[in-house]
Amino acid sequence: MTTRKPPFAPQRTHGLAGGRALRPSSKVLPEHARGHNRSLVLQTLYLAGERSRADIARETGLTRVTVSDLVAELIAEGLVLELGPREDARPGKPATLLELNALAFHIIGIDLSEFAIFRGAVLDLRGQIISRAEIPLENSTGADAAAKVVALVERLVAAATLPILGVGVGSPGIVGLGGVVLTAPNLGWVNEPLQQSLAERFGLPVLVANDANAAALAEHSFGGADSDMILIKIGHGVGAGLLLDGSPFFGGRFAAGEIGHVVVGTDGGAECVCGKRGCLETWLATPRLDAALAAAASSDERTTILTEAGQRLGIALAPVVGALDLAEVVLSGPTELLDGVLGTAVIETLRARTMAEYHGGLILRMTTLGEDIVLRGAAAMVLSGQLGVS
Amino acid sequence: MTTRKPPFAPQRTHGLAGGRALRPSSKVLPEHARGHNRSLVLQTLYLAGERSRADIARETGLTRVTVSDLVAELIAEGLVLELGPREDARPGKPATLLELNALAFHIIGIDLSEFAIFRGAVLDLRGQIISRAEIPLENSTGADAAAKVVALVERLVAAATLPILGVGVGSPGIVGLGGVVLTAPNLGWVNEPLQQSLAERFGLPVLVANDANAAALAEHSFGGADSDMILIKIGHGVGAGLLLDGSPFFGGRFAAGEIGHVVVGTDGGAECVCGKRGCLETWLATPRLDAALAAAASSDERTTILTEAGQRLGIALAPVVGALDLAEVVLSGPTELLDGVLGTAVIETLRARTMAEYHGGLILRMTTLGEDIVLRGAAAMVLSGQLGVS
């Protein structure tokens, strides 16, 4: 089970640039404390549902006065609703129940991680998808690809029927400070200031993060992930997102999770686009796997291909599981490829190559969020960055 | 260069149980804020040296009143000294300079990680060693080994000439919540409540952590480590300690860094004490390396043995460097084995097996803290847990 630390954002959000307003300062200044406490109130209502002011005070450790003050502000902003008196048998005046107003805002989520298509959605504050839109990429790169992101956001802004809390984008490649896509080879982007250009174009808060990191965040917010988890996203490329101590980990230079071009094993392997041999992507990227399976002569041969792919992922992950004491590995990608022989080979390899006494309880599972994982992760970024809830 | 986050402890200290008083709460309560602010003042003086109250207020963002109040408390406790007026040319009344009183306390550090001997030291608040003591282990295990720890602490308590801030212990094995040694096979300990028994015996604050985690903390506090670093401790066994985002990372079940029994490569390897084949320890543990080198017929053969050992460490670390975007790998252990052919093979292997564009700047170096790294790390644990400085 997840040990949730409410709220998410104030713990470590530096990778979600734009959420910086909620970043914990090492200085406990009054304005920081207020923002922090506001997030605490919202997080309590977000996770716990209907609560009275007294409930919130008790659960957060904040004073009644502080809670009442913050709740008044949140009601004025339309983020919190008064539901009326609690119906219970307690003596005295019944407390007024509050809830987070799920209809206060819509969120726009964008997934740029698929090879041939940009997908987007309007989501509610619970991360449920309200409507969808997509634009075929048609091999666009550079400015053309960026223009297609703008066109997709434009459509979704028009489709939203509530005020928009913000726009979250999961991009392939390395996404640095301020949501700059430092490098995304498939899209021909180098130092593409996607976050800033979208924010200026639409006048909305925008958060851009790596697609696998967004997916890990979705697992955290909506998928019930363990607090020490690696999510492996397998598609045209192979990437990973990490939750450590319940918070996403982005790395000092925002390249955490970039395991696709780590060489696996000591017995060679196929040549990779990067020039090396035996990178994880040569074993697991879906075009490679699909091609190998299509060429296979028998069912046995297909099983061998999937088993070897899973073993390679297990070999690569064993030192990571050992070094980080991970509790859970979550796979995201084509179910028909991953959920079965391949996944079984991953967990068996991990068990065979790590210490049973520490990692015997390691869990491997498919994401429950399906193909919408990046869209929902993009929404989770906005929830975390703008409201401090997750 | 390290990006230091003052202070260390309030960020993430849950692995250093006993330092829990300084653990960040998700609730910003007045008493928490006060402890946090007190640590900020101490950390500023610890890192920056002589400062006036106004300097501290400016550098921490705290108000002048808060700083004066906290400084008065710290002066009363003897932790801060007034040095007298600043000698400078600024007009007006010169400010009074303050410094951390390095002679306020001694710290006791204990290193249980060596195979045949328990080592200890009295250290000052700067982590400098004042005096030493040691007790040969003579194959003691279980209660006998625990009694030798008590005897060693007893000697060092007697040797200290200042009040003792606390006792830090770096232990082999897995150390869990509350400084319980969950398992340390070499010492025959299972669920050994070392922290509690020492605290009760001596009436002092005691912090027990894994030896490699203590070593990583020493690199953080005294060795100028990068904020995203893995320290590999090579001795009778092989372990690791991690700094992520400038804070030590212990893992959800305190087993982070346990990489000694991860299988490396896909080409077999020697049988390990754990029953598997090709564990990192079979390539790198010093008894194995020493035996292989002693049996070598030529200088070339010795070079091959050291190169292969380094390559294996590189193979194991490549996925960890990729997943965590690490900036630095620090080796701790016998210089004559590690510093040369072996170390070169590690970094060359890491470069060959990761993405040059992300990890080309990766640094590998020997620790500068030599054989005292665990002793100094144990002192850093006490500084962090008791004063919130690092």
Nearest CA among A276, A256, A154, A146 for reference residue B327: A256
B40/A contact by beta carbon, under 8 A: yes
B324/A contact by beta carbon, under 8 A: yes
What's the pLDDT at B358?
Answer: 74
B350/A contact by beta carbon, under 8 A: no
Spatial CB neighbours of A71, under 8 Å, sequence gap ≥ 6: A41, A53, A56, A80, A98
Chain-chain contact of B319 with A319 (C-beta, under 8 angstroms): yes
A5/B contact by beta carbon, under 8 A: yes
CB B343 within 8 A of CB A283: no
Interfacial B residues in 196-235 facing A (CB < 8 Å): 226-228, 230
In a mutagenesis test of the B interface, which of A47, A326, A350, A358 is the best target, namely the one with the most B β-carbons within 10 Å?
A358
**List of chain A residues whose C-beta atoms are within 8 Å of the C-beta of residue B251:** 228, 324-326
Partner residue facing A12 (CB), from B27, B228, B245:
B245
**List of chain A residues whose C-beta atoms are within 8 Å of the C-beta of residue B37:** 28
In a mutagenesis test of the B interface, which of A8, A232, A259 is the best target, namely the one with the most B β-carbons within 10 Å?
A259
Q: What's the length of chain B?
A: 390
In this structure, what token pair is assigned to residue A181?
């896509």
B281/A contact by beta carbon, under 8 A: no
**List of chain A residues whose C-beta atoms are within 8 Å of the C-beta of residue B228:** 251-252
Other Cβ atoms within 10 Å of A299 Cβ, number: 8
Instruction: Count how many pairs of residues, chain A against chain B, have C-beta atoms within 8 Å.
Output: 172
Chain-chain contact of B258 with A322 (C-beta, under 8 angstroms): yes
CA distances from B360 to A63, A359, B318 (A): 51, 31, 12
DSSP H or E run through A128: none
Chain-chain contact of A61 with B25 (C-beta, under 8 angstroms): yes
In this structure, what token pair is assigned to residue B355?
């993405």
In this structure, what token pair is assigned to residue B40?
């900020």
pLDDT band at B134 (very low <50, low <70, confident <90, very high): very high
Chain-chain contact of B324 with A249 (C-beta, under 8 angstroms): yes
Chain-chain contact of A174 with B25 (C-beta, under 8 angstroms): no
Q: Which amino acid is at A253?
A: R
B58/A contact by beta carbon, under 8 A: no
Rounded Cα distance between B177 and B84, Å, is 44
DSSP H or E run through A14: none
Which residue bears the tokens 């087993």?
A: B255
CB A267 within 8 A of CB B266: yes
B25 versus A61: the higher-pLDDT residue is A61
pLDDT digits (tens, 9 = 90+) for B350-373: 999 998 777 778 999 999 999 999
Chain-chain contact of B26 with A37 (C-beta, under 8 angstroms): no
Chain-chain contact of A183 with B357 (C-beta, under 8 angstroms): yes
A122 versus A250: the higher-pLDDT residue is A122
Please give the full DSSP string across A293-342, using - where no structure is assigned. HHH-SSHHHHHHHHHHHHHHHHHHHHHHHHHHT--EEEEES-HHHHTTHH
B299/A contact by beta carbon, under 8 A: no
* Residue A227 scores a pLDDT above 60: yes
Spatial CB neighbours of B248, under 8 Å, sequence gap ≥ 6: B12, B15, B213, B216, B217, B220, B241, B242
CA distances from B253 to A205, A359, B15, B295 (A): 37, 10, 9, 40
Rounded Cα distance between A311 and A333, Å, is 17
Mean pLDDT, residues A248-257 taken together: 89
CA distance from start to end of chain B? 16
Q: Which amino acid is at B335?
A: T
**List of chain A residues whose C-beta atoms are within 8 Å of the C-beta of residue B257:** 323, 325
pLDDT digits (tens, 9 = 90+) for B31-48: 667 888 899 999 999 888
CA-nearest residue to A244 within chain B is B251
B362/A contact by beta carbon, under 8 A: no
Nearest CA among A344, A384, A339 for reference residue A213: A384
Partner residue facing B256 (CB), from A259, A261, A324:
A324
Partner residue facing B12 (CB), from A7, A37, A245:
A245
DSSP H or E run through A348: helix A341-353
* Residue B14 scores a pLDDT above 50: no
CA distances from B307 to B267, B335, B339, B362 (A): 16, 15, 11, 19
B190/A contact by beta carbon, under 8 A: no
Interfacial A residues in 142-161 facing B (CB < 8 Å): none
In this structure, what token pair is assigned to residue B101?
């009183």
A327/B contact by beta carbon, under 8 A: yes
A106 Cα to chain B: minimum distance (Å): 27
Instruction: Calculate the CA dihedral of residues B52, B58, B64, B68 and round it to 10 degrees.
Output: -40
Rounded Cα distance between A379 and A164, Å, is 11
* Residue A269 scores a pLDDT above 90: no
pLDDT digits (tens, 9 = 90+) for A116-154: 999 999 999 999 999 999 999 999 999 999 999 999 999
CB B350 within 8 A of CB B364: yes
A324/B contact by beta carbon, under 8 A: yes
B28/A contact by beta carbon, under 8 A: yes
Mean pLDDT, residues A202-208 taken together: 97
Cis-peptide, bond into residue B136, ω within 30° of zero: no
What's the pLDDT at B92?
Answer: 77
**List of chain B residues whose C-beta atoms are within 8 Å of the C-beta of residue A255:** 325, 358-359
In this structure, what token pair is assigned to residue A248?
């996403």
CA distances from B129 to A294, B79, B105 (A): 66, 19, 13
Nearest CA among A214, A225, A223, A216 for reference residue A379: A214
**List of chain A residues whose C-beta atoms are within 8 Å of the C-beta of residue B34:** none
pLDDT band at B294 (very low <50, low <70, confident <90, very high): very high
A10/B contact by beta carbon, under 8 A: yes
**List of chain A residues whose C-beta atoms are within 8 Å of the C-beta of residue B389:** none
* Residue B120 scores a pLDDT above 90: yes
Rounded Cα distance between B233 and B332, Å, is 5
pLDDT band at B253 (very low <50, low <70, confident <90, very high): confident
Other Cβ atoms within 10 Å of A221 Cβ, number: 25
A240/B contact by beta carbon, under 8 A: yes
* Residue B24 scores a pLDDT above 80: no
* Residue A238 scores a pLDDT above 70: yes
Rounded Cα distance between A198 and A206, Å, is 7
Phi then psi for residue A249, to 5 deg, are -115, 125
pLDDT digits (tens, 9 = 90+) for B72-114: 999 999 999 999 888 776 677 788 999 999 899 999 999 999 9
CB B389 within 8 A of CB B383: yes
Q: What three-state secondary structure class fits B281?
A: helix
Instruction: Calculate the CA dihedral of residues A218, A220, A223, A225 and round it to 10 degrees.
Output: 140
In a mutagenesis test of the B interface, which of A5, A27, A28 is the best target, namely the one with the most B β-carbons within 10 Å?
A28
pLDDT band at A379 (very low <50, low <70, confident <90, very high): very high
B311 Cα to chain A: minimum distance (Å): 10
Provide the strand spans (E) within A223-357.
229-234, 238-244, 247-249, 328-332
A46/B contact by beta carbon, under 8 A: no
Q: Exposed, middle or buried by CB within 10 Å (0-12, 13-18, 19+), for B84?
A: exposed
A131 Cα to chain B: minimum distance (Å): 34
**List of chain A residues whose C-beta atoms are within 8 Å of the C-beta of residue B240:** 323
Chain-chain contact of B226 with A252 (C-beta, under 8 angstroms): yes
Which residue bears the tokens 């959420």?
A: A19
Chain-chain contact of B61 with A27 (C-beta, under 8 angstroms): yes
Rounded Cα distance between A304 and A134, Å, is 36
* Residue B67 scores a pLDDT above 80: yes
Domains and CATH numbers, chain A: 19-100 (1.10.10.10), 106-216+373-387 (3.30.420.40), 226-367 (3.30.420.40)
Q: Which amino acid is at B145?
A: A
Chain-chain contact of A319 with B357 (C-beta, under 8 angstroms): no
B139 Cα to chain A: minimum distance (Å): 24
Nearest CA among A294, A385, A298, A305 for reference residue A338: A305
pLDDT digits (tens, 9 = 90+) for A46-86: 888 899 999 999 998 888 999 999 999 999 999 999 998 88
